[in-house]
Structure 1
């Protein structure tokens, strides 16, 4: 069975973006890319909501051949290009997936749980990784379709107007699997197994 892994960077006050969805206020450093590359190397599928998918599609394709980018960023771009992508959306069309059309499948929201159950049930194929996609992963978490949370906390707060990471008011229990810190990074990743209360 494949695992569904949610990866999210959070501020110390528990937000995943600043006001008006501004992600650039988050406490990014080199550990963020190290984490993402590590997850992509083990992924068979990247699962995204519409907004995150469009952000990835607009940014990552050109990075792989850009000599001004660090090698790790070029590797992330190559991995994003080649990995199967499933995007949950009621508004995207096949035309919106270029240049990733050959590796992207669009799933309507009404069928997202069924699609994720099918991915999880496969015997092999690598992890199913969710980056960003706050609305999507909160829904999957509430329906018991997330296996692990990889939460990176950075040394900063967002304050008033930030969007909290967790939407559900229902209780949930997580079992700590490990804590990781990268050399030269102020980010700390807490890796949890998910078990619903």
Structure 2
């Protein structure tokens, strides 16, 4: 049985993003370092449509960008070769010459719970998701999210979008700090999501 893990930066006051454009959750370089650890433990990345559009245009080229953070370059190299599953009713597969062309699959929103449940039954490495808040919150309602790893940023944004859309009970799996950074990682196991609507 595979683990499906959400990794997200959150402001100190618990928001996924801030109120309005230009207000973002604080992310230090340790976020990239931890993302690299998570993708090294995985062989499938789960994405929603908007995150797929944004990430597929950004991450493939980072591997060869000498000005990029070292962990981000390594992250990009792995991202280009792992399987990607995109939950969307409108997204199109990447073009044939795109680095993600051979390992990206589009799954409809209606089919996503059953398809993700099948993936989780495989004897493979972890499934991980970044951003894609609407997608993973939907899967949370179906009991398909195993862990939520929160990187708690060292600032409050005083409003915005909460991380979770519905109540959920969690158990703390671990807490970690990073040398020279103020971000704190809290790993939670999902105990009981709210009942599906």
On whether the aligned pair clears a TM of 0.5, the verdict is yes
Is this contact kept in 1: 2:3–2:127, CA < 8 A? yes
1:116 aligns with 2:113: no
> 2:142: which partner in 1?
143
Alignment: residue pair count: 192
| Moved >4 Å (runs of 4+) | none
What does residue range 153-172 of structure 1 map to in structure 2 within 5 Å?
A: 153-160=152-159, 162-168=160-166, 171-172=167-168
- Superposed displacement of residue 172, structure 1: 2.3
Task: Give the whole-Å Cα distance in 1 for the aligned partners of 2:64 and 2:11.
Answer: 32
Stretches of structure 2 that go unaligned for 5 or more consecutive residues are none
Tell me, in whole angstroms, the C-alpha distance in 1 between the residues paired with 2:101 and 2:58. Answer: 15
Uncovered stretches (5+) of structure 1, i.e. residues with no partner: none
What residue in structure 2 maps to residue 49 of structure 1? Answer: 48
Deviations 1:84-108 (A, max 9, x none): 0000000011246834111100000
More helix per residue? 1
Per the normalisation by structure 1, the TM-score is 0.92
Instruction: State the partner residue of 1:7.
Output: 7
SS state at 1:25 partner: coil
SS at match of 2:86: strand
Contact 2:11–2:155 under 8 Å retained in 1 = yes
Q: Deviations over 1:10-55 (max 9, x none)?
A: 0012111123465x62111111001100000001100010111111
1:182 matched to 2:178? yes
Query: CA separation of 1:144/1:21 partners in 2, compared to 1, >3 Å: closer, same or farther?
Result: farther
- With over 3 angstroms needed to count, the CA separation of the structure-2 counterparts of 1:25 and 1:164, relative to structure 1, is same
Q: 1:192 aligns with which of 188, 194, 197?
A: 188
State yes or no: 1:133 paired with 2:132: yes
Classify the secondary structure of the residue corresponding to 1:60: helix
> What SS is found at the alignment partner of 1:130?
strand
Which deviates more from structure 2 when the two are superposed, residues 174-183 or residues 90-99?
A: 90-99
Are the aligned partners of 2:94 and 2:104 in contact in 1 as well (CA < 8 Å)? no
Alignment check: 8 A CA contact 2:94 2:100 kept: no
Tell me the equivalent position of 2:25: 26
Q: Deviation per CA, 1:141-192: give whole Å up to 9, x if none.
A: 11100111101101111123x1111111xx4221111001111111111111
